[in-house]
Structure 1
Amino acid sequence: MLSRAIPALCLIALSGAAKSQSAAPGSAAVPAPAAAVSAAPAGTPPADPGEVAEATDPAGEKILVAGQRPGPGLWKVSKDEHVLWVFGTYGPLPQKMVWRSQQVETILAQSQEVLEEPGASAHVGWLRGITLLPYVIGIKKNPDGATLKDVLPADVYARWQTLKGKYLGDNDGIERERPIFAAETLYRAGLKHAGLSNGYEVRAAIDQQIKKNKLKVTSPRIELEVDDPARMIRKFKNSPLEDVACFSKTLERLESDLDAMRVRANAWSKGDLAGIQKLSFADHRAACDDAMRNAAFVKDQPAFKDMEARARAAWMAAAEKALAANASTFAMLHLKDILGPQGYIAALEARGYKVESPD
């Protein structure tokens, strides 16, 4: 969570400035926004039920070609006559997949509330955001004008050069970015090249159904209060990060894990729960979270302490409140937060709720 949250907070001034162009100020939310796409309209005939297929591009690379897919079924958490339906999100997914689930549409139409994934957000007024803009300039760059060649071990830099040439081409500007930011840019480019995306299209389709049914949406995010954002941004820009491990792990995923990503994407898209349960969700983000968690500018910010535990507690409290109040609630969690003995579903079961896994 930290690898996504803290850069977003450091860029909060940009969000605040963007809000100044709209009617009212708002908050900068940590989770990345969903890309705008069109959901399959009602009455659209189902696509060929075959699996997500693989094709080969002219360069000999495997890519995914996908039609309309339903994704996995939903977990049912219940007590008495009250039900919480949990949808497992996942990414990356095939770029050309059109997601549509009749089960999700039916449940949303019958629900009274939608519970979003756990996360964190920070509020800053648009006027204050504008005053922070000067501090944001150059926030992605290494301190003291260092380049990736200066801060990376020679063997890691050589691997970077190979993958950069393959996925980014001639991009000299990225050589001055911190490893953690350069790695994320490379990772996204690698996914795109492999016919994969982060899966925001699924969330966009769900959002359309939420809007259609005029549902109440609860975002159980924890609030990150920063007393002096300008100071935090300055300290971030001037502080070194131990992000070489994050960078190296990201390279490793692109070098060796793209085929496994395709297998995972295919399992999710066709609702193969047995296949999904065999998947490993360990990836480079843990190393990237550690780089941020151990940074000097984080350690003096009380708001960033125990973020994961606080976010989990907030979501669990919101889930139990919804279960008590509603006949039907639709909730979203990443699959890695659902599966396993430490997942949210297991925690609800331990509190006495009945849990039924999808068929």
Structure 2
Amino acid sequence: MVRHLLPALCLALPLSCWSQTEAPMPAAAASEAAPETILLVGQRPGPGLWKVSKGDHVLWVFGMYAPLPEKMEWRSQQVEAIVAQSQEFLLPPGAHANIGFWRGLTLLPGLIGVKKNPDGATLRDILPADVYARWQPLKARYLGKDDGIERERPIFAAQTLYQAGLKQAGLTNSGAVRAKVDAIVRQHKVKTTETAIKLDIDNAARALSDFKKSALADTACFDKTLARLETDIEAMRVRANAWAKGDIAAIRQLSYPDQDSACDDAVLGADFVKNQPGWQNVKQRAQDAWLAAAERSIGSNDTSFAILGLAEILGPGGYLTALQARGYQVDSPE
């Protein structure tokens, strides 16, 4: 679920805009999931491919998803066959901080304490009392006696707790499926096209300093992450099984508390981001860049292949819906 908006600064800011995670769907309550769901293991194909076409030119899109069973092995003969005949592979949308390797090294001393709350505050100090009361039993269940996490910013503490909860449930956000796709692309020597945008930083040292001193409006991110672990673990298992079997309809039928948007907003609305002119409207710019690359690829190639998170495909304002509005035919997998 988590991506890092400032990898070059090593800030490890959790940003989920471009992660391959569940897409929030208006549907039945997550509590309808069957209790004690047994996770599918062994080799699984995942969903079929979306077909985007104009005339004889086709872009095939594979929907990535997480969390998935830790012991599941993915293999899709359909993906392997499509990649083998493709002339181009589009990487997923995203954003990369542009500061340079050597310049980034000079910032390393300033990274000490970057995950801590300003002025030595603890979670008890900055969270509403009812939210902190919900945190304590979940922390005890998933993290044990980790006193150090009490001084971390809520957005980082939430990320650590969520990953621990997934692990206990036999689920993982690891990129095993993505790594397998990349290996197939390399095997067939398919041209790979970067679609991510580059974010310029006027003054990386000042951005780092601003981040360490400023508070984040990340209580909503923390609260909704707790809600996921309180109410949604079994539904996560159902969705993981549905993806493994290629049952997109089942994924659509399960809603859940969406912490992703709240965590994104905590990062993108922070003062240190507002002070960077090149970091505005990141989500829209990332989508626009991917759509432009997709249109170029369809126009230039008989067959192209791309991967998107299901959130980008099925969620509100989906990427393929945007292509359909521009005159492309979009066919969903059966």
Confirm or deny a common fold (TM above 0.5).
yes
- 1:11 is matched with which residue? 10
> Given the alignment of the two structures, is residue 99 of structure 1 paired with residue 74 of structure 2, yes or no?
yes
> Given the alignment of the two structures, is residue 129 of structure 1 paired with residue 128 of structure 2, yes or no?
no
Runs of 4+, deviation exceeding 6 Å: 30-33
Greater RCO between the two (CA within 8 Å, min separation 6)?
A: 2
In structure 1, what is the Cα distance between the partners aligned to 2:128 and 2:251? 36
Instruction: Choose from 209, 226, 232 the match for 2:201.
Output: 226
Deviation at 1:32, TM superposition (A): 7.7
Counterparts in 2 of 1:306 and 1:134: CA distance versus 1, 3 Å: same
- 1:37 is matched with which residue? none
- 1:53 is matched with which residue? none
Instruction: Choose from 237, 259, 267 the match for 2:234.
Output: 259
* Residue type of the alignment partner of 1:11: C
Deviation at 1:282, TM superposition (A): 5.5
- 1:16 is matched with which residue? none
Task: Using the aligned pairs only, state the percent identity.
Answer: 60
- 2:321 is matched with which residue? 346
SS of the aligned residue for 1:242 comes to: coil
Q: Is the 8 A contact 1:5 1:31 kept in 2?
A: no
- 1:296 is matched with which residue? 271
In structure 1, what is the Cα distance between the partners aligned to 2:253 and 2:213? 43
In structure 2, what is the Cα distance between the partners aligned to 1:340 and 1:126? 35
Cα RMSD over matched residues?
2.4
Counterparts in 2 of 1:206 and 1:281: CA distance versus 1, 3 Å: farther
- 1:286 is matched with which residue? 261
- 1:82 is matched with which residue? 57
Residues 244-301 of structure 1 deviation map (CA, whole Å, 9 limit, x = unaligned): 1111110110010111111111111100122233343651011111212222212111
SS of the aligned residue for 1:91 comes to: coil
SS of the aligned residue for 2:48 comes to: coil
Unaligned runs of 5+ in 2: 21-34
Deviation at 1:7, TM superposition (A): 5.0
Deviation at 1:4, TM superposition (A): 3.9
TM-score (normalised: structure 1): 0.83
- 2:131 is matched with which residue? 156
* Residue type of the alignment partner of 2:295: E
In structure 2, what is the Cα distance between the partners aligned to 1:199 and 1:149? 31
- 1:336 is matched with which residue? 311
Matches within 5 A, 1:167-178: 167-178=142-153
TM-score (normalised: structure 2): 0.89
* Residue type of the alignment partner of 1:78: S
* Residue type of the alignment partner of 1:266: N
Q: Is the 8 A contact 1:78 1:355 kept in 2?
A: yes
Deviation at 1:63, TM superposition (A): 5.7
In structure 2, what is the Cα distance between the partners aligned to 1:187 and 1:63? 20
Counterparts in 2 of 1:186 and 1:195: CA distance versus 1, 3 Å: same
In structure 1, what is the Cα distance between the partners aligned to 2:142 and 2:73? 25
> Given the alignment of the two structures, is residue 322 of structure 1 paired with residue 294 of structure 2, yes or no?
no
SS of the aligned residue for 1:64 comes to: coil
Q: Is the 8 A contact 1:337 1:344 kept in 2?
A: yes
Unaligned runs of 5+ in 1: 14-29, 34-55
